[in-house]
Amino acid sequence: MNDEQRHQEWIAQRKAEEAKRRERAAECLKDHEYTVLADTDQLKAWRCKAPRTTCYAFDILITRFGIATIGDIDGLTFNVGLSYGIEFLAGDDIGYYIHSKLEEHCREREFDEDAFRAALVTGVCSQICENTDDDELYAALPEWMRNDGGVGEAGRWDELRSLVKDRLAAIEYGEDGHDFWNSLNDRLYEADHIECVEQASMLMSEHHEVLGLGCDYWEITIDKPRDSLINRLYLINHAAKAIVAQLAEAKAA
């Protein structure tokens, strides 16, 4: 798979994920009603709630200095206010733009295993290519490893693990190359059992040379916005879109 194909696959996966989040938000809020609580020059507020239940119920408050959502989806605050309006929350770029306006303390993050493994695949592939001097052995490397110049992705993780294990098994202890493949195998084994950012950062710090990550390994991003946070933003976005539509209907009446 070339770079363009990988990019197109990434776009398709991203769109599918966004569609799934929108569907989930619509299902969670399918019975919600949107009631105006305040509509002044200084404050606009709505209650987003289904009748006879507080499940997923929340209020949206917009003041000059910020936007806040409070209720059964956990509170969030944004550093934009009335000048942006409810239309801001109803925008289509949820994962980047709307998320970017969250107050710093609301930007919950979690370990991104795919990003971590992708970085290791890229680095280790480069190491293997650079350390395989024998033309015959180099030609025997997988095409995706040679043609990409060591650039890989998380989806190649299992293939890489198997290749390293097989190469190590084919070399007797003490033979040339044993230490190289044994070291790679040990580090990848450790990576297989990592469950948090702190563990991943420690592995990258202690073994960045072996893993081919370079001296700027600390710049590699191995975390992402917490999945539950993004789901909440989609709930808010769904409600905001409904409110914008409701306002448009009232204006047209």
Report if pTM > 0.75. yes
Dihedral of alpha carbons 195, 201, 205, 208, sign: positive
> Which of 1 and 199 is assigned the larger pLDDT?
199
Q: H/E element holding 33?
A: strand 33-39
Burial (0-12, 13-18, 19+ Cβ within 10 Å), 236: buried
**Which of residues 5 and 25 earns the better pLDDT score?**
25
The tens digit of pLDDT for each residue in 80-90 reads 999 999 999 99
75: three-class secondary structure by DSSP: coil
Helical segments of 35-134, H only: 85-89, 99-100, 113-130
Tokens describing residue 188:
């990848």
Which helix H or strand E contains 240, and what residues bound it?
Answer: helix 227-252
**Whether the predicted pLDDT of 124 surpasses 80:** yes
Q: What is the DSSP string of 154-170?
A: GGGHHHHHHHHHHHHHT
- In the prediction, which pLDDT does 1 show? 55
Q: What is the mean pLDDT of residues 59-86?
A: 96
Looking at residue 23, its pLDDT comes to 97
- When mean pLDDT is compared across 36-45, 99-108, 120-129, 143-152, the lowest value belongs to 143-152
pLDDT top residue among 135 and 89: 89
Tokens 């109803």 correspond to 90
Give the model's pLDDT for residue 149: 46
Whether 253 and 77 have beta carbons less than 8 Å apart is answered as no
